[in-house]
Amino acid sequence: MTAKHLIIAIDGPAGAGKSTLAARLANRFGLLNLETGAMYRAFALAALEKRVPLDESVDLERLMTSTVIRLQPDAGGNRVLLDGRDVTERIRQQDVTEAASRVSVHPPIRRWMVAMQRKLGEAGGVVMEGRDIGTEVFPSADVKIFLDASPATRGERRHQQLGPSQETEQAAILRGIEERDARDRTRVQSPLRPASDAVVIDSTNLSMEEVVARAEALITARLAAR
Ligand code: DC
């Protein structure tokens, strides 16, 4: 087996380092890096812009039928197009982060996303990152990693990532992470949890280099086993 056909699933809560890990693995093994969270974010932005209530499943479902979301992987990550418009930077803002967490609990929205994500990844040669990749999108992925870290560590990392330009206090970031975690883990449809055959990596006390090394070893072993 060559890396060209691999499907690597990376799941875990916000701020655990999934995006960095996915980008590093994509680079190392020549894989396409697909950030599924960006798709939920793009849909959340559509709902915000069209003033569709984030908790109204029926209204969101109607919006879904007229919304086109595209992920364009490139060297620096994913460009995200919402109805043809590049929203890559906009979807990282706090209002979209909060809205994405809310729209992603609705089963019809999840089914739509999962179907799109399967199409994007089915040819293989991908690292796909999200919350339900190993459990729902690709239950037969070749390698499944569940990347975790304590909420305090994730809050601190997010705070550093945002930098001084964003006047968000660390305590507020931690609160936001905990709220979104709770929503992710308790939703009815495909809640965030490690797949039974996922390798859980707790990065609380690991550097990103150590996390990458462990993940690379898993992939190399999988390739050698074929
Ligand atoms: O990974 P992220 O922060 O960009 O994800 C944004 C939101 O989308 C997050 O609140 C959880 C949700 N999400 C999801 O439910 N399933 C996925 N596969 C990816 C993201």
Q: What percent of the chain has pLDDT over 70?
A: 97
- Count of beta carbons in the 10 Å neighbourhood of residue 64: 20
For the chain, the domain total comes to 1
Domain residues for the domain of 160 are 3-225
For every residue of 148-161, which 3-state class applies, written as one string? Answer: ECCHHHHHHHHHHH
Mutation choice for ligand 1 from 21, 34, 40, 105, CB with most ligand atoms inside 8 A: 40
The residue whose CA is least distant from atom 11 of ligand 1 is 101
Tell me, what's the pLDDT at 164? Answer: 63
119: CB partners within 8 A, 6+ apart:
none
pTM for the structure as a whole: 0.94
End-to-end CA distance of the chain: 5
Tell me, what's the pLDDT at 167? Answer: 57
- For the beta sheet containing 77-82, the strands, ordered from the edge strand earlier in sequence to the opposite edge, are 69-74, 77-82, 85-86
The residue whose CA is least distant from atom 5 of ligand 1 is 37
We report the CATH number of the domain holding residue 48 as 3.40.50.300
Mutation choice for ligand 1 from 80, 104, 136, 177, CB with most ligand atoms inside 8 A: 104
Average pLDDT over residues 76-100: 94
- Count of beta carbons in the 10 Å neighbourhood of residue 6: 22
Burial of 40 (0-12, 13-18, 19+ CB in 10 A): buried
Q: How confident is the model at residue 1 (pLDDT cuts 50, 70, 90)?
A: low
CA 225 – ligand 1 centroid, Å? 32
Tell me, what's the pLDDT at 172? Answer: 87
Task: Give pLDDT tens digits for 117-152.
Answer: 999 999 999 999 999 999 999 999 999 999 999 999
Q: Which two tokens stand for residue 200?
A: 């859980």
Task: Give pLDDT tens digits for 184-195.
Answer: 999 998 999 999
Residue with tokens 């906009």: 90
Looking at ligand 1, which atom is closest to the CA of residue 18?
1
The residue whose CA is least distant from atom 9 of ligand 1 is 101
Q: Which two tokens stand for residue 44?
A: 């959340």
